[in-house]
Chains A and B, each alone.
Chain A
């Protein structure tokens, strides 16, 4: 079993829809939870990070962490064609410092 599981998609939704992206994990020691966005042929870009459980909102993006279920989500409201990219969840243990574990990424396409 992988430490972090993420549905690779592809996921295609119409412009303006609410998008829900999810990851599950098995390591209960994970404390930091991140979402990266990667456009084709570019490096990943850090979108949001959350410490422990709870919600965090930034503009059209909301990250949720449920540590009891080992489940994290990223919601995108009023989705735009420019949101079309691969979204990678990532997480790490405080004690492991530099090493972050990535999910496999979900390819998202927003149809105009």
Chain B
């Protein structure tokens, strides 16, 4: 299995809702990432987990809460989002954890999130 899967593909939520995004990889990769991508912009790093521990939080608002229950699974819990949070949320994984080098990142197809 050489892919990163993400569910759901699309999500529409209101500003008072709580929802979760899910990401899975079965490649034995040691690091997993959440990115946010707006239209016609590059991905922006949000969080990095290495060996199931949070190693980087790019000053992301607390309405986004990541969780790594095991080495294959990564969740992003969403609560009280704003319309400007609407974007494509991408999960990625890389073979090496931190410290190390993660230039080799494999991305999932993303969840397209719309906040109304």
Minimum distance in angstroms from B66 CB to a CB of chain A: 14
Also in contact, A45 and B103, with CB within 8 A (given A98-B48, A102-B43, A104-B42): no
Is B42's CB under 8 angstroms from A98's CB?
no
Q: How many residues of B contact A (CB 8 A)?
A: 30
Contacts of A100 in B (CB 8 A): 45, 102-103, 105
Q: How many residues of A contact B (CB 8 A)?
A: 23
Q: Which of A45, A92, A98, A104 contacts B41 (CB 8 A)?
A: A104
Minimum distance in angstroms from A9 CB to a CB of chain B: 10
Give complex CA distance A49, B101 in Å. 12
Q: Which of A36, A42, A46, A97 contacts B109 (CB 8 A)?
A: A42
Minimum distance in angstroms from A25 CB to a CB of chain B: 14
Give complex CA distance A75, B40 in Å. 22
Is B107's CB under 8 angstroms from A97's CB?
no
- Bitwise, A93-111 to B at CB < 8 A (1) or not (0) is 0100111101111000000
- Bitwise, B30-54 to A at CB < 8 A (1) or not (0) is 0101000000111101001010000
Minimum distance in angstroms from A85 CB to a CB of chain B: 13
Contacts of B40 in A (CB 8 A): 8, 105
Can you sample 7 A-B contacts with CB below 8 Å? A41-B112, A49-B104, A92-B101, A98-B98, A99-B56, A105-B41, A105-B42
Interface residues of A (CB under 8 A from B): 8, 32, 34, 36, 41-46, 49, 88, 90, 92, 94, 97-100, 102-105
Interface residues of B (CB under 8 A from A): 4, 31, 33, 40-43, 45, 48, 50, 55-56, 88, 90, 92, 94, 98-110, 112
Given A46-B107, A90-B103, list of 19 further CB < 8 A pairs? A32-B103, A41-B112, A42-B110, A46-B104, A88-B42, A92-B101, A92-B102, A97-B98, A97-B99, A98-B31, A98-B50, A98-B55, A98-B56, A98-B98, A99-B45, A99-B56, A100-B105, A105-B41, A105-B42
